[in-house]
Amino acid sequence: MNAPAHPPLPSSVSELRASLLELLDTCPVEKCNPADCPLFSLRKMHYRERLLWFCALSRDDLEYLAAYHHVCMNVKLDARRATTGDSQ
């Protein structure tokens, strides 16, 4: 099965930040902080420290984070479908 194409990235940095902000708190797929996530240690920091780190990211960093999240999300959803037998 081919992975879906990456969704188009928001056109502005502020839109890109807004679309990724939820990742600072939890994995939106697993609704927790999985240890295999590169943001695992960050999520253990105080929210203000997480936000300062996030606000310092460049557009390239944000685009990388968005692409990484998209791939990771698809891998996790595909694994979930495989274990439940759901083909959709």
CB atoms closer than 10 angstroms to residue 35: 7
pTM value surpassing 0.85 = no
Residue ranges covered by each domain of the chain: 13-84
Region for 32 from its dihedrals, namely left if φ exceeds 0, alpha if ψ lies in -120 to 50, beta otherwise: beta
**What tokens appear for 84 in the block?**
């439940």
Choose among 88, 77, 74: nearest CA to 3. 74
Q: Output the pLDDT for position 1.
A: 47
Q: What is the rounded distance in angstroms from the CA atom of residue 69 to the CA atom of residue 71?
A: 6
pLDDT tens string 11-49: 788 899 998 999 999 999 999 999 999 999 999 999 999
Q: What is the pLDDT of residue 28?
A: 93
pLDDT of residue 12: 86
Amino acid at 88: Q
